[in-house]
Structure formats: C-alpha cells, structure tokens
Amino acid sequence: MAGFCEIGVPNDPNQVFHMMLIPIRRALFALAPLVMLSACGSVNNASLSKPETLFGLLEPYHIDVVQGNVVTQEVMAQIQPGLGRLQVKEILGTPLLTDPFHLDRWDYAFTIHRQGVADQKRIVTVFFKNDLVERFDTETLPSERDFVSAIDKPLPVDRVAAPNLTEAQIAALPLPPKADVIRKVPQGAVRTYPPLEVGRR
C-alpha cells in the first residue's frame, strides 16, 4: 500500500498528526455535553442570586409578601406571665403555628418580602401552663417606629425632601411665574326636546 511502511504506520507526518488527534476529538465530543450542562447550572445559580433584568435596566415587579403577626416592642410589653389564652390572642392575634402535640406552646412567626428593602423574619414563642402564660421566648424586637422605617421604601432621588431652610433663605428663593388662568364656562351637549303632550281631560 502506497504511503505506508511495513508495520502499518503512515509515512506522511500530516497523516500521523491526524491519527493522533482522533482520540482527543473523541474525548472532546464525550465531554461537550458535560460542559454544556455545567454552564446551564452556573447560569441558573447566577439568576437565583440576582433578579432578572431587562437589558440590565428594568427589574420585574415583585408583589409584597407579608405573613404572620407583626409583633413590636410596644405590643410585646403587654404580655406578662399569668395572662390567659384569650387575652394573649386579643393582644398578639391568632398564632400562625399551633402544634397539636405541644398544646402549651404558641408560635407567632412574621416574615415580609418587599422589593427594595431587606427581608425580615421574626419568631415569638409563648409558653402556657394551666392555660396561663408561663414564659415567652423572643429575639430582639423593633419598636413600631423602627419597624415602619425598616419596611419603608427609599424615595427616588428626585422625590427626596428638601433640607430645612431658614426664613431668610425661603424669602430669598425666586417666586414661580404666575400662570394666567382663564376660566371657561362649562358647556354641555346641546339637546332639543319635543314639546310635552297635552293630557286628555
């Protein structure tokens, strides 16, 4: 056979090079699906960590999700040992979690997910003994003012309130131009009605 020596190896260096690439090509074809699947996984992880945007400018609207009972320092200060179950329910509301196997424990969980502010999660647990409050377990709770400020969305830059000005600074501000207001007489649709029929006597 022309171009081959006696042991079956081609004499042409180009043919030798192409024969050496065959196992490498097979390995690449075998690894291609794995590389593509790992790329899909990295894209999904990136999309979970950062909200999807349209051209990096617009974010999709997410509805506010509020679950559970809002418990602040002022509300929790009313819970004292010795209160009955009905009194606790009137102050804190119906517990979000009640375990039939632990009837002497009420869990008040609160979560809020709101676009533009940090997520919040708090749990207040009230323990009863003989249908009276024995103790309660809670993490640090915010005051009502702190809670409202924590869930309040920041205003856009153009809507931020102006700083406090002195009377002299206010007097030095230019007056806005007066617009000529022309009051128009309201006009309705022009309608004509037929004369009333004379009733029979």
- The DSSP secondary-structure symbol of 157 reads G
At 110-132, the pLDDT tens digits run: 888 887 788 888 899 999 999 89
At 65-83, the pLDDT tens digits run: 888 888 888 989 898 899 9
The alpha-carbon radius of gyration of the chain (Å, integer) is: 38
Parse the chain into domains and list their residue ranges.
Answer: 1-50, 65-151
Q: How far apart are CA 165 and CA 25, in angstroms?
A: 75
CA distances, 164 to each of 133, 167, 168, 169, 173 (Å)? 49, 10, 12, 10, 13
At 188, list the tokens: 């309705």
Residue 50 has pLDDT above 70, yes or no: no
Confidence (pLDDT) at 134: 92
With b for 16 or more beta-carbon neighbours within 10 A and e for fewer, the 137-166 pattern comes to eeeebbeeeebeeebeeeeeeeeeeeeeee
Give whichever of 18-22, 79-83, 148-152, 187-191 has the largest mean pLDDT: 79-83
Domain 65-151 = CATH 1.10.287: no
At 119, list the tokens: 């997520």
Q: Looking at the chain, list the stretches that DSSP marks H as alpha helix, in order from N- to C-terminal side.
A: 13-49, 73-76, 85-92, 144-151, 167-172
| 30-39, 119-128, 143-152: the lowest-pLDDT one | 30-39
- The DSSP secondary-structure symbol of 103 reads E
Query: Pick the residue with more confidence: 187 or 73?
Result: 73
Residue 14 has pLDDT above 50, yes or no: yes
